[in-house]
Structure 1
Amino acid sequence: MSPERTVLRLARPYLGRLVAAGVLAAGTELAGLALMATATWLLITAAGQPPLSALTVAIVSVRALAIGRGVLRYTERLAGHDAVLRILTDVRARVFETLSTRREPVRTGDSLSRLVSDVDAVQDLLLRVLVPGAAAAAVGVLAVGGAALISPAAAVALAAGLLVAGGALPAAATALTRRTADRVAPLRGALAGDAIDLTHGAADLAAYGATAAALDAANRRAGELSRLERRLATSGWAVDAAGVLVGGATAAAVAVTALRADVDGVLVGVLAVGALAAVEACLALVTSARQWSELRAGLSRVAALLTPAPAAATDPVDLASITVRYRPDGPPALDRVRVDLPPGRRIAVVGPSGAGKSSLLHALTEWGGSPAQVGGLLAEAYVFHASVRENLLLGRTDATDDDLAAACATAGLLDWVGEQPDGWDTVVGEDGGQLSGGQRQRLALARALLLDPAVLVLDEPTEGLDPAAADEVLAATLGAARGSVVLVTHRLRGLAGLDEVLVLDAGRVVQRGTHAELAAVPGWYRDQWLAQEAAERGYVSLGTP
């Protein structure tokens, strides 16, 4: 299915509004055409100084058409934007939902470009391509029909000019802009990513002496984008100039043809000026074709996020028991790892950096089923620039204040919320910038608890907390979880009550058993546990900062 059809499927509920906008747009162009024709007749006739009564109808008509054209244009814009903004709301919500749940990594700048610039392409498709294109086509047909009532020969000349203006020139505009326009949208997304990197990574780039290289790369991309946009502007100017020539040639051809057909001189002027107005209206098809060519890449990027990804083949999954095992197409960091999760089972996954812990969690969330089955707190959970309530409701939209309070109490955030003047409506800032690291982590954990999936996955849920608070929050979380729990952590304290601990190394399970069993035998787990115990005892003896 083409990207245009994919996007337009979301417009079906608002089809009536779009049709109304198209009819109003056609009425606007017809009013303009009639105004030009009537005004021309009035001026030529008035030059002969006839009685005023002979001009009264034309004078009133000119006034009515001038006022009507403005009213129709305003109403058309009102109806069109009302429909398009409703459609954009649906499209942007669908795109955001896909971006927030997609498995593969995506750059923030590219996501922003898709959510803003590319979604705006949907608006342009409707308001600058479909509606004016349909109106121009309708005006062209009616103009030829009106000319045929005066002179069939002149109507033929007008039809030829309109075919060039509404057919050949749009095709030329499409051919000239398509290849260039297809490269613009990805470049804009990449440039937005460069801006994010240069802004948020400025300190690291400066520390490693890489600022100049990063700026050069961004400047090269910006220069390429500027060059492509200049090329588009140049080709657009050339086609527009051709459109002006076609309009003049069509008006001249209509006038000559009408004179040869012995049409009255006043009507010859009306036909000539009307031909100019009709060609100008049909030149909107050139603009529509150029806009469509420029929008295709952006629409394709939006359509890719509106089309559900095909479901991957997985083992049978139900809420009672979930098994994740190594698959040939799975993450390369895992090698024949199998995890069995009957209801209520609690396991921890530990190991050195790069052992495959996070890969195992992603395998669980990707192969385990829907968020109602497997979900929770993954690494670097995003906190939105919104209120505490809105961030929490992402986990469960129907949660009550009591549910929010229970989740925050478990995560150790309830007291902080109670201290804020705005309570649940406290805005946490972009990416939780108004929160400390520990508060941000507690908020993300509370959101995961609200989700309440059959299998709760937790990736370093106590990161950023002091040891005492970490033990308290972990114990409360394990006690509150109603389903199975898979905990990835670098802290080995608090694991004594779990059913099993898996030690990963290079994607393999090198040790597995309870905390007591692993702490009793020599190996990585025992060494790390003893080292952490000693370090945390020293931390506590010096006082918690």
Structure 2
Amino acid sequence: MTAWAVLAGVAARLCALGLTASAAWLIARAAERPDLSALGLAIVAVRAFASARGVFGYLERLAGHDAALGRAAGQRVRLYRALAHGPLPAGSRGAGSGGGEALTHMVADLDAGQDLRLRCALPAIVAGVAGTAAVAFCWALHPASGAVVAAGALAAGLAVPAAAAAAARRLGARLAGARAELAARVMDLTDGRADLVAFGALDFATAAAERQARRLARTERLSGGVSAAALAAGTAVQGLTALGVAWAAAGTGAVTCAVLVLTALVALDAVQPAIPAAQLWVELRPAAARVRRVVRADAALPPDERPHRPAVPGRVALRGVRVRYGDVPALDGVDLDLSPGRSVAVLGESGAGKSTLLAVLAGLVQPGEGLALLRPARGLYQDAHLFAATVRANLLMAKPDAGDAELRAVLDRVRLTGWLDALPEGLSTPVGAGGRGLAGGQRQRLLLARALLADPEVLLLDEPTEALDAATGRAVLAGVLRARHGRTTVVVTHREDALGLFDDIVVMARGRVELHDAGDRQPIGRAFPSA
């Protein structure tokens, strides 16, 4: 928020105050029928304040929007740069979801941050300064009236906004829960309709969704009622303040009393924007915090260890990393250094921490302790979503300029060309939202093909051949590793028959790296139970 926007806003409110005071004095004094010369200065003041108020109001909007949009543009560049060099930190909205969903969330958060500056911070600052000036003016004219205006300004500018913000915070939590519950029930009706019909539960699920929709509507009406009540309270305080000033200034004369009463009304009108600003602040502040968290996620690391300044492209390392889910340690003091260009198999029994290790390497989970030194210029975590589009369109999301020959080649690496040739429309065949029309193994391999097509410097895969038979799974892994061309590839797998394909083996147990073998791998296969 620039000082120019604040200064222009304050000047506009002070001109409104001066316009009201001079107009009130002019009307009250003119009623006494003085010589016209006695009214000349007031007439000039009314014209000057009226013209200046419009000019300063325009400058306030111009400077405010220029500052907010300029800041948002710079922040958008920093956000995209942060997202390009690593996934969202834990706690960010959309962390762990698909890249498109996460980016949509963050763009919405950027817009919310812009509103936070324009519709919350600027009105609140201007209201505070203008309200203080109005109180000082009234106090100088008549201290008792100034005290009444001060009390009204504190009530309308602080007490009512604070109460409105507290109510908005409580109702906001209820609204978020109600919306999430309704979204879950709607997803059950759409994605699980076939199962619901099969079990005769469609009517029950529909009725539950309708009840939740009504519950959400009631909560939204309550939220709207609270907002209306807060504005009504502010208006009531304004009226009561004007009445109090009229009573306190009754003995000052008609002209002074008129000036004080009308000035009190304008003073309280100047602080009224603080009420909706406080409610909006509660709603938008988390969004701004999420954007700052992403943009500043690398601030804790020394400059030579930040992800966007890779010292060695393709290298990842962990130093004393600890991650806990509640009271359960998922990673317990992990130290790991993976050299660039190596292929690494991560093994261990269920719950050993393999997937959490991969998520930390990808930046999807932030360590509670320790450092994750991520040094890929571009890294790609195995995606988990196929879009309601054709095979070609799903693949082109990784490389928009790829031709059909390149798409067929990458599908051949994951042993999908036979499947492709059997499709009615080949690459133009729709796969359905989430790959609904595909078998589990086909869906996994299509996602893997998309990851390979992106050609990242670091590729992180979590059980990429889980749904395949042993022979096909080994063949797919072999194709992926043969085609890596210096890429660092980390694969969580339970296939002991494929260990010979990897350069390094990492065995995990109870959240710790029990063994990191980059040489003789003969005894490794017996060191843990199969997952």
TM-score normalised by structure 2 residue count? 0.63
Separation (CA, whole Å) in 1 of partners of 2:291 and 2:179? 14
**SS of aligned partner of 2:486:** coil
Contact conserved, 1:411 with 1:476, CA < 8 A, in 2? no
- Matched with 1:228 is 219
**SS of aligned partner of 2:8:** helix
**SS of aligned partner of 1:66:** helix
Mean Cα displacement is larger for which, 43-52 or 245-254? 43-52
Separation (CA, whole Å) in 1 of partners of 2:9 and 2:297? 35
- Displacement after TM superposition at 1:132 (Å): 1.2
- Matched with 1:279 is 268
**SS of aligned partner of 1:30:** helix
The one of 424, 442, 447 equivalent to 2:449 is 442
Matches within 5 A, 1:31-50: 31-47=15-31
Separation (CA, whole Å) in 1 of partners of 2:15 and 2:394? 50
- Displacement after TM superposition at 1:138 (Å): 1.0
Listed one character per residue, the Cα deviations across residues 61-87 of structure 1 (whole Å, up to 9, x for unaligned) are 434433433333333233223333444
Going from structure 1 to structure 2, the CA distance change for 1:338 and 1:308 (only over 3 Å counts) comes to closer
The one of 344, 360, 363 equivalent to 1:366 is 360
- Matched with 2:384 is 380
Contact conserved, 2:89 with 2:297, CA < 8 A, in 1? no
Separation (CA, whole Å) in 1 of partners of 2:451 and 2:212? 36
Separation (CA, whole Å) in 2 of partners of 1:85 and 1:138? 24
Matches within 5 A, 1:396-407: none
Separation (CA, whole Å) in 2 of partners of 1:220 and 1:70? 50
Going from structure 1 to structure 2, the CA distance change for 1:160 and 1:513 (only over 3 Å counts) comes to closer
Please tell me whether residue 252 in structure 1 is matched to residue 240 in structure 2.
Answer: no
- Matched with 1:396 is none
- Displacement after TM superposition at 1:391 (Å): 4.4
- Displacement after TM superposition at 1:179 (Å): 2.8
- Matched with 1:536 is none
- Matched with 1:268 is 257
Listed one character per residue, the Cα deviations across residues 501-543 of structure 1 (whole Å, up to 9, x for unaligned) are 9999xx9x9xx999xx99xxxxx99xxxxxxxxxxxxxxxxxx
**SS of aligned partner of 1:272:** helix
**SS of aligned partner of 1:81:** helix
- Matched with 1:411 is 410
**SS of aligned partner of 2:128:** helix
- Displacement after TM superposition at 1:25 (Å): 2.0
Alignment root-mean-square deviation, CA: 6.1
- Displacement after TM superposition at 1:218 (Å): 4.3
Listed one character per residue, the Cα deviations across residues 123-158 of structure 1 (whole Å, up to 9, x for unaligned) are 443333321121111112211222244333332332
Contact conserved, 2:10 with 2:129, CA < 8 A, in 1? yes
Going from structure 1 to structure 2, the CA distance change for 1:206 and 1:488 (only over 3 Å counts) comes to farther
Separation (CA, whole Å) in 2 of partners of 1:56 and 1:183? 59
Matches within 5 A, 1:88-103: 88=72, 90=75, 94=79, 97=83, 100-102=87-89
- Matched with 1:71 is 55
TM-score normalised by structure 1 residue count? 0.62
Amino acid at match of 1:78: L
- Matched with 2:417 is none
Matches within 5 A, 1:388-537: 391-392=398-399, 411=410, 441-447=448-454, 449-450=455-456, 452-453=457-458, 456-459=459-462, 475=479, 478-487=482-491
Separation (CA, whole Å) in 2 of partners of 1:249 and 1:111? 49
Separation (CA, whole Å) in 2 of partners of 1:43 and 1:363? 77
Separation (CA, whole Å) in 2 of partners of 1:129 and 1:47? 42
- Displacement after TM superposition at 1:261 (Å): 3.2
The one of 129, 141, 151 equivalent to 2:142 is 151
Going from structure 1 to structure 2, the CA distance change for 1:270 and 1:497 (only over 3 Å counts) comes to closer
Going from structure 1 to structure 2, the CA distance change for 1:28 and 1:193 (only over 3 Å counts) comes to farther
- Matched with 1:397 is none
Listed one character per residue, the Cα deviations across residues 274-324 of structure 1 (whole Å, up to 9, x for unaligned) are 11111111223333333334556666766776774999xxxxxx9889799
Amino acid at match of 2:223: L
- Matched with 1:27 is 11
**SS of aligned partner of 1:457:** strand
* Percent of aligned pairs sharing the same letter: 35
Matches within 5 A, 1:123-162: 123-162=114-153
Matches within 5 A, 1:183-262: 183-189=174-180, 191-192=182-183, 198-199=189-190, 211-262=202-253
Amino acid at match of 2:233: A
Contact conserved, 1:118 with 1:302, CA < 8 A, in 2? yes
Amino acid at match of 1:147: C
- Matched with 1:290 is 279
Contact conserved, 1:183 with 1:297, CA < 8 A, in 2? no
Contact conserved, 1:99 with 1:305, CA < 8 A, in 2? no
- Displacement after TM superposition at 1:471 (Å): 6.2
Mean Cα displacement is larger for which, 378-387 or 291-300? 378-387
Separation (CA, whole Å) in 2 of partners of 1:138 and 1:59? 27
Contact conserved, 2:324 with 2:330, CA < 8 A, in 1? no
Amino acid at match of 1:21: A
Amino acid at match of 2:410: A
Amino acid at match of 2:450: L
Contact conserved, 2:136 with 2:146, CA < 8 A, in 1? yes
Going from structure 1 to structure 2, the CA distance change for 1:391 and 1:47 (only over 3 Å counts) comes to farther
Separation (CA, whole Å) in 1 of partners of 2:501 and 2:463? 17
Task: Identify, as 1 or 2, the structure richer in helix.
Answer: 1
**SS of aligned partner of 2:460:** strand
Contact conserved, 1:383 with 1:431, CA < 8 A, in 2? yes
Separation (CA, whole Å) in 1 of partners of 2:335 and 2:45? 82
Aligned residues: 470
Amino acid at match of 1:478: R
Going from structure 1 to structure 2, the CA distance change for 1:132 and 1:324 (only over 3 Å counts) comes to closer
Separation (CA, whole Å) in 1 of partners of 2:284 and 2:316? 47
Going from structure 1 to structure 2, the CA distance change for 1:255 and 1:82 (only over 3 Å counts) comes to same
Going from structure 1 to structure 2, the CA distance change for 1:225 and 1:124 (only over 3 Å counts) comes to farther
Contact conserved, 1:140 with 1:162, CA < 8 A, in 2? yes
- Displacement after TM superposition at 1:273 (Å): 0.9
Mean Cα displacement is larger for which, 25-34 or 60-69? 60-69
- Matched with 2:366 is none
Separation (CA, whole Å) in 1 of partners of 2:451 and 2:498? 20
Separation (CA, whole Å) in 1 of partners of 2:411 and 2:133? 71
Going from structure 1 to structure 2, the CA distance change for 1:86 and 1:388 (only over 3 Å counts) comes to farther
Separation (CA, whole Å) in 2 of partners of 1:29 and 1:306? 36
Going from structure 1 to structure 2, the CA distance change for 1:488 and 1:158 (only over 3 Å counts) comes to closer
Amino acid at match of 1:378: Q
Contact conserved, 2:164 with 2:226, CA < 8 A, in 1? yes
- Displacement after TM superposition at 1:52 (Å): 5.8
